[in-house]
Structure 1
Amino acid sequence: MSLDVRQIPVLNDNYVYLVRESGTGAVAVVDPAVAEPVLREADKLGWTITHILNTHHHGDHVGGNLEIQRATGCHIVGPRADRQRIPGIQTEVGDGDIYDFGAARARVFDVPGHTRGHIAYWFEAEDVLFPGDTLFALGCGRLFEGTPAQMWESLGKLKRLPDGVRVYCAHEYTQANARFALSLGEDNAALATRAKEIDATRAAGKPTVPSTLGEEKRTNPFLRADDPALAQAMDMVGAPPVEVFAEVRRRKDSF
């Protein structure tokens, strides 16, 4: 694998990622909430930061942009649809674009819903996805700037990717997300097993991220709004998937 991904926990529950492409030595920071821990980790590893890859404009994803750029001269890449809210942006990308990061190639998806200009980066050859706050382990982002229909379509783009893709989401929300997923009342053995594993992982002080897309397809209710078993558990038999999704999101917002 040509990508070496290092996870940096920051703030209360954020993950920032340092990603090194081994062929060229290029190093990207994905969604730097803050600068200092990222610069310190890169220095410890002996890595020279060359890029920042932003998924959306929220401060806990771009707050470190300018300080890291000043310190390293790195190149900032972000969503074309939200370029005015990405500090220091130099390259704008959007749906269907291919971005070459060293010798690795990322396919870009527009995935609005959480914000209007959100994107995700899929490194196909490396089975690596950086979805920002669109997709979480067992969850999805709140709909701050989009509609349920937009988010359901966005998640559909990611759901079509292969099961083996590792999902490097931006927050450690998994344990709370598991409690919510179980509250929907579905008889889902895979979910029950995963919830126990998550509790054990967190009790050991370890991260639950990354997950795999296959795990998410089997257990994440936000990806399963088109599954009749979930609709039945929610007393929504026959409802369009987007309506089931909207109800799952509504329940999570008040959980």
Structure 2
Amino acid sequence: MSPVTIMPRFLMGAALAAVLALTPAAARAAGEAVNIPNHDFSFDGIFGTFDRASAQRGFAVYKAICSNCHSMRQLSYRHLRSLGLTEAQVNALASQFEVQDGPNDNGEMFTRPARASDHFRRPFANDAAARAANNGALPPDLSVIVKAREGGADYVRALLLGYEDPPEGVTVQPGMNYNKYFPGHQIAMAAPIAADDQVEYTDGTPATVAQMATDITTFLSWAAEPELEARRAMGVRMIIFLTILGGLVYAVKKKVWANIGQHQGLGDGG
């Protein structure tokens, strides 16, 4: 390889190293680096499970607050049975909502009470209607929001608790709100959980802002990955099975090679 070929590659490598070295400093200077606080959720870790009581309270928060703007189209009401709701409770809950169905025998669309098999009702008829009601911003569907955002559950909870007055010298654009955990710190959504007791918990748990943020995050985490517990349980069973299998294989190997060694010794002695 000629020096003419080597030199440009060397310069390109040096330039790339310089860019990578300056990137963290530039990000800090621009205020883009945000440390998301870690929260000890019940579903963290390989043996973690969803706190059903917390998830049920989180659904109550979604129903009372979040469902006014955000859809969850990948969930059906029947899925709530895995959170501990009875079939009667699910049917009663679904029947509170009206959904469009049809066409009927006359070719007309009609509305009816929702059934357990129906998807969660959308708050708006379409995306255009959603934007029109939210100053041009489209509220995202929350079905898999926890998996769709970097930082997952910790980020979602932090975002809900990150609303505050902007620091001195920071100007918030019209129609925007300051949030210390949102990238860029300016978000169109106003604080959805702004005061204690916005939701009345039937189990007597104090509905503080922090508690409601934790509960709705637990519910959204379950909604994004309802098979999490079953998958982890299968993984643990596979690890146990492979450990036992590995031990048996090792024992058989030792036995086989011990017999081979004995036969070789007898052969050498003969």
- Shorter-chain TM-score category? under 0.3
- Answer with 1 or 2: which has the greater Rg: 2
Q: Whose helix fraction is larger, Structure 1's or Structure 2's?
A: 2
